[in-house]
Structure 1
């Protein structure tokens, strides 16, 4: 009898242990799932402004890449616009406080955003830079249009339209922005090849379309023999084009940079003879991909050219130009 009781007791103890182990494994699995859910990668995408078509195209690319890679992200920019450098610094500070997995940024200023960006990197948050550069090499990857090459292409196109001679004005967006610096350089490099082209001193419109318009009016008044104007981004391209349209002036050639719903009609009407169209969708898509690769320990290319298309009044109906002009599709 004692042997039987001992055997029953032993079987009971083994059963208890097995049940206990089963509960432990189940609990571990649940805890693991909860931990995975709590540590899902979350990226902050901080741009110069969330409403314009350019950055909406960045977001469209990011949406696709986020779905493909299974990451979450939030998309933000200063409500005061591209010139609100302090506002963008605060957005990066907030991202650091939230302990995001990574930051993708289109910097409003090449120098002013460096300290806060390096603070994020020092905190273990990798940073991918898109669109506008930063004067640091501590970022994971920089994805942008080759601004120097693109602006040089615009300059070469203009030089042909001018037959290699004339007086040209440059209107630029924000002094100190890396993109502004590079576009001016590329354009001037092209102009330097043509000794009979005179380039006037650059003037700035601080990313304001109305200021670009009034600035153009002043330039035209001061230079009645002006032959052409190069505008370095969307607000400037629109402002210059509207100033020419107000005077029904198709004699002065405008070459611009960027595309939008305001720019396309100016090309069709002939007030804007050509514009460099960037590929913002690629910036968003490839930016998220680069960040996820970094977070997964994969090697990431340090600098990536996202491409551009020179759209002119002559080629704007081509498939390549149409795709560049309408990255989100025609409405």
Structure 2
């Protein structure tokens, strides 16, 4: 696939450009939901207000979601809204096993889909099958995980947050709160995005950082493992978790351990919002999963319909990080309640 090339900009400029591109996409991709006249495009075609009348296409969304992870319900919800608007048949599948996820991508190729959106938590396992998609002429975009690898794998676009930047911001936030010893809890070993978060935190945090690996699919085990670590080391005054449900579990673990450690987390949902409001959690990092799902599907429709793509194949469209605490929780509470933040 031929793509225009351009020099790498600084991360700050890239974030501004990507944010502007995301906003432009939302404006361009959405029309009024009220009735009214059809809007004529430059080729003389017409689109009904609020819903595309372009030929129906089939798009697969393949993620590394584990069972019962509410975060991925939000990603899927955004994807489904975009699919309904764009006259897209959406095929959703997920598996936390990298090998199984690769098989799901192969299934999509075999079904001759018109586009694939995929997460890249363990990119090496997907390299071969993504090459097959490219050989089959199927455009592929990335979302959520894979900020550092999507270009090398030949993907058209990427939608998500820069996990390293998010981790660095997390560390700076902990410095401002006066933390001295942080425990970074990784709930899926081998996930490059999660590791980047902890690595970023370590880079900017001025205190000591320990890493603890837990099995995120077994919450009782998560709780007991964190409890044991906090009982073992009373100097830990901060627990950094990488998923909202893990954060809420870490709060319970700290109580069970008799620890005074505070808890902050990545990822936002209505339970996390409530915990921030009542002071149970200090803050959360929001990467806007609904927006990731929406933009991934909408971008494939735009590519198939108009040949549009963002970033010139060089820069991701950043959906985060945004830091949410008591000072700004009111601005996102109503959106989290309806499952769009």
The answer to whether TM tops 0.5 is yes
Map of 1:25-36 to 2, 5 A cutoff?
none
Given candidates 147, 170, 184, the residue that maps to 2:198 is: 184
Map of 1:186-225 to 2, 5 A cutoff?
186-191=200-205, 194=206, 197-200=207-210, 202-208=211-217, 209-225=219-235
Deviation, structure 1 residue 69: 2.1
SS of corresponding position for 2:264:
strand
Deviation, structure 1 residue 110: 2.4
d(CA) in 1 for partners of 2:213 and 2:113?
A: 36
Query: 1:257 is matched with which residue?
Result: 266
SS of corresponding position for 2:220:
helix
Query: 1:132 is matched with which residue?
Result: 145
d(CA) in 1 for partners of 2:335 and 2:174?
A: 20
The answer to whether the 8 Å contact 1:257/1:277 transfers is yes
Alpha-carbon RMSD across the aligned residues, in angstroms, is 2.5
d(CA) in 1 for partners of 2:317 and 2:189?
A: 24
Larger relative contact order (CA 8 Å, sep ≥ 6): 2
d(CA) in 1 for partners of 2:337 and 2:165?
A: 22
Map of 1:71-86 to 2, 5 A cutoff?
71-78=88-95, 82=96, 84-86=97-99
SS of corresponding position for 1:254:
strand
d(CA) in 2 for partners of 1:120 and 1:173?
A: 30
Map of 1:291-310 to 2, 5 A cutoff?
291-301=300-310, 302=313, 303-310=316-323
Given candidates 273, 282, 285, the residue that maps to 1:273 is: 282
Map of 1:57-96 to 2, 5 A cutoff?
57-78=74-95, 82=96, 84-96=97-109
Deviation, structure 1 residue 92: 1.0
d(CA) in 1 for partners of 2:142 and 2:307?
A: 17
Deviation, structure 1 residue 233: 2.1
Q: How many residues align?
A: 279
Query: 2:185 is matched with which residue?
Result: 171
Q: 1:201-245 CA deviation, whole Å, 9 max, x = no partner?
A: x22113233332122112212211211111122343233122124
Q: 1:172-221 CA deviation, whole Å, 9 max, x = no partner?
A: 12232121122122212221xx2xx1222x22113233332122112212
Classify 1:323/1:190 alpha carbon distance in 2 versus 1 (closer, same or farther; 3 Å): farther
Gaps of 5+ in 2: 1-52
Deviation, structure 1 residue 305: 0.3
Larger Rg: 1
Given candidates 123, 143, 151, the residue that maps to 1:110 is: 123
The answer to whether the 8 Å contact 2:78/2:340 transfers is no
d(CA) in 2 for partners of 1:215 and 1:221?
A: 10
2:169 counterpart of 1:160 = no
2:333 counterpart of 1:318 = no
Classify 1:76/1:174 alpha carbon distance in 2 versus 1 (closer, same or farther; 3 Å): same
Query: 2:50 is matched with which residue?
Result: none
The answer to whether the 8 Å contact 2:230/2:254 transfers is no
d(CA) in 2 for partners of 1:203 and 1:265?
A: 26
d(CA) in 2 for partners of 1:73 and 1:272?
A: 36
The answer to whether the 8 Å contact 1:241/1:266 transfers is no
d(CA) in 2 for partners of 1:322 and 1:207?
A: 26
d(CA) in 2 for partners of 1:126 and 1:322?
A: 36
Gaps of 5+ in 1: 1-36
SS of corresponding position for 1:263:
helix
SS of corresponding position for 2:56:
coil
d(CA) in 2 for partners of 1:129 and 1:169?
A: 30
TM-score (norm 2): 0.74
